[in-house]
Homo-oligomer: A and B are copies of this chain.
Amino acid sequence: MAIVTARKQNETPLHNRIRTHLLAAMKSGQLRPGDRVPSEWQLAEQFAVSRMTARQALSDLTMSGYLQRRRGKGTFVAPEKLEQSLGNLTGFTHDIRRRGLTPHTQVLGAGSIPAGRRMALALDVGPEESLYVLERLRLVDGEPLALETAYIPARLAPALLTCEGLSESLYKVLAEHYGIRLARAAQVVEVVPAGPHESRHLRVGEGTPLLRLERVARDATGRPVELAHSYYRGDRYRFTTDMSRWKEE
């Protein structure tokens, strides 16, 4: 006995149609950021499919960053993205305030570790040398948006972790307490899926696409001062960058 499927072969998959329907509603403005979308059961009934099929449509849109799901509450249209410059690092706190939002920083951890092979190479120190580690969670209006970990050679900034203001601007502390001014940096931007750690702190599902920034910052002499990697919620952030020197082909 054949199981009845509510579509003919070679037609658009059913979960695809539901997804398209929801996307259209978002584009037209019927569904706005923050709105609740119909529940899995409601969609299943509306489109005459099983709950698992409706669920797949919602899961796809969630993984894509269009929707956010909250157990026990419902599924909601995701808010719009914030923008951050890769060129002038004006700092998170300053940057968010300028947009009229409320920034908050939570220091998750501070300590020191031996550099190890990989970081020793990037920071131009010995593999046994001590690095300060500073892990901070950046929140906007109470919502965690970025997870930043910075590594600084302890030799360059003795007793760094006892300084005040680390929850605001690390660069400000480096400048005011140690006379270290960062002059330039190399950065790498990529998409990575959230791992367990990022997932927990940013409160997104594991595997959610995040923007990962890796940065090596140097002072005017070219000496590496900071190695940092940051994870930004891909559904909430976009980066801007300016090219001034253009190399011809």
Chain A residues with CB under 8 Å of chain B are 16, 19, 60-61, 63-66, 81, 83, 86-91, 93-94, 169, 171-172, 175, 181-193, 206-207, 209-211, 234-235, 237-249
Contacts and interface: CB of A to CB of B under 8 A. Distances in A.
Given A63-B63, A191-B209, A209-B191, A186 B240 contact: yes
A179 to B, nearest CB: 13
Given A182-B246, A193-B66, A187 B241 contact: yes
Given A87-B245, A186-B242, 18 more contacts: A61-B207, A64-B193, A65-B192, A65-B193, A86-B243, A88-B247, A171-B248, A171-B249, A183-B246, A184-B243, A185-B242, A185-B243, A189-B189, A190-B211, A191-B234, A191-B235, A209-B209, A241-B241
A210 B64 CA distance: 10
B245 A189 contact: no
A121 B60 CA distance: 34
A66 B207 CA distance: 10
Nearest to A95: B249
Given A94-B249, A175-B248, A248-B171, A243 B193 contact: no
Nearest to A212: B238
Given A182-B246, A185-B243, A243-B89, A238 B190 contact: yes
Contact of A241 (B19, B60, B189, B234): B189
B91 A190 contact: no
A59 to B, nearest CB: 9
Contacts of A210: 191
Nearest to A213: B241
A63 B207 contact: yes
- Give 7 closest A-B pairs by Cβ, nearest first: A64-B193, A190-B238, A191-B234, A88-B247, A209-B209, A91-B249, A64-B207
Contacts of A238: 188-190
